[in-house]
């Protein structure tokens, strides 16, 4: 077993467990491939999952209305634009809103296409 | 969008005490991000960029509230701004027990990793703390918790 690979994988595990797109497809494959053959790192991943559950106690209760209020503010700003700019703005906004749902690569793509 | 607002909220709430102010800062941050999306150039991650905007709004908030203070809160090598997690919402006793072995800096680091969902390099960019230091702190946190949780902590 390559111990240096364990060190690298262990550093990547929090990102892997967060499912948040910080890892590229290749990096995710690398983690999965290593976990398949390394019991030590599997145990470490299980422990980090426990740590993640513990850290949920530190998380904020996000108020229900906040997402709607954010969108309302953005819609208001869009409506205040000059009429001839509205189409450009709303197209841009539509692209941005979709992009915000996905990973960083898609944000770059939307940026290049605005 | 929902995920980014949650992430942003978890970052801002430990730095700003009032829930109304938190909401204002979140709205202003998302609005500013929408307006300036054209300037995002992927030299940093999207989350880091968004949190950078939030930091500016938070600094404006404190400058407005405390006009005579000159220090800013970011990049001073500290993770915590003194947010006291012990005042947090009621949690199960065994979790409270586990958390009690961590100091405030350590709780903040864990919070940034799992609730704000930042990578080590993103945390390093935002706090100014070197990635190596962050990794060592994380190792220390894991050791403390493994000792505290004892055998069978895998479950």
Locate the chain B residue with the closest alpha carbon to A111: B38
Write the ipTM.
0.74
SS3 letters across chain B: CHHHHHHHHHHHCCCCCCHHHHHHHHHHHHHHHHHCHHHCCCCCCHHHHHHHHHHHHHHHHHHHHCCCCCCCCCCCCCCCCCCCHHHCCCCCHHHHHHHCCCCHHHHHHHHHHHCCCCCHHHHHHHHCCCHHHHHHHHHHHHHHHHHHHCCCCCC
Q: Which residues of A touch B31 (CB under 8 A)?
A: 70, 73-74, 77
B114/A108 touch (CB, cutoff 8 Å), yes or no: no
Q: What is the token pair recorded at B71? A: 């220090």
Q: What is the token pair recorded at A82? A: 């000059």
- Interchain contact A67–B (C-beta under 8 A): yes
How confident is the model over A83-108, as a mean pLDDT?
Answer: 58
- Interchain contact A101–B (C-beta under 8 A): yes
| Domains parsed from chain B with CATH numbers | 1-74 (1.10.1740.10), 89-155 (1.10.10.10)
Residue-wise pLDDT for B3-36, tens only, equals: 888 899 999 998 888 888 999 999 999 989 988 8
SS3 A61: coil
Q: Which residues of A touch B141 (CB under 8 A)?
A: 51
B113/A101 touch (CB, cutoff 8 Å), yes or no: no
Q: Is the pLDDT of residue A38 over 70?
A: yes
- Interchain contact A15–B (C-beta under 8 A): yes
């Amino acid at each position: 077993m390559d111990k240096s690979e364990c060190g690298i994988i262990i550093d990547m595990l929090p990102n892997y467990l967060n499912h948040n797109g910080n890892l590229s497809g290749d990096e995710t494959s690398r983690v999965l491939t290593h976990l398949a053959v390394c019991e030590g790192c599997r145990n470490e991943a299980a422990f980090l999952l426990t740590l993640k559950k513990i850290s949920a106690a530190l998380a904020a209760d996000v108020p229900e209305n906040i997402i709607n209020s954010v969108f309302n503010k953005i819609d208001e700003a869009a409506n205040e634009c000059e009429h001839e700019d509205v189409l450009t703005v709303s197209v841009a906004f539509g692209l941005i809103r979709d992009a915000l749902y996905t990973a960083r690569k898609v944000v770059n793509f939307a940026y290049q296409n605005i | 969008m929902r995920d980014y607002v949650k992430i942003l909220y978890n970052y801002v709430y430990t730095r700003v005490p009032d829930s109304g102010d938190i909401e204002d800062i979140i709205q202003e941050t998302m609005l500013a991000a929408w307006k300036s999306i054209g300037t995002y150039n992927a030299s940093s991650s999207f989350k880091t960029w968004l949190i950078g905007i939030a930091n500016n709004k938070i600094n404006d908030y404190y400058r407005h509230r405390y006009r005579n203070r000159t220090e800013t809160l970011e990049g001073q090598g500290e993770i915590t701004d003194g947010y006291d997690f012990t005042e947090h919402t009621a949690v199960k006793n065994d979790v409270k027990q586990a958390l009690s072995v961590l100091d405030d800096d350590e709780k903040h680091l864990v919070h940034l990793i799992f609730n704000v969902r930042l990578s080590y390099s993103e945390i390093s960019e935002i706090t100014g703390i070197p990635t190596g230091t962050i990794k060592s702190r994380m190792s220390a946190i894991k050791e403390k918790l493994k000792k505290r949780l004892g055998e069978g902590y895998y479950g």
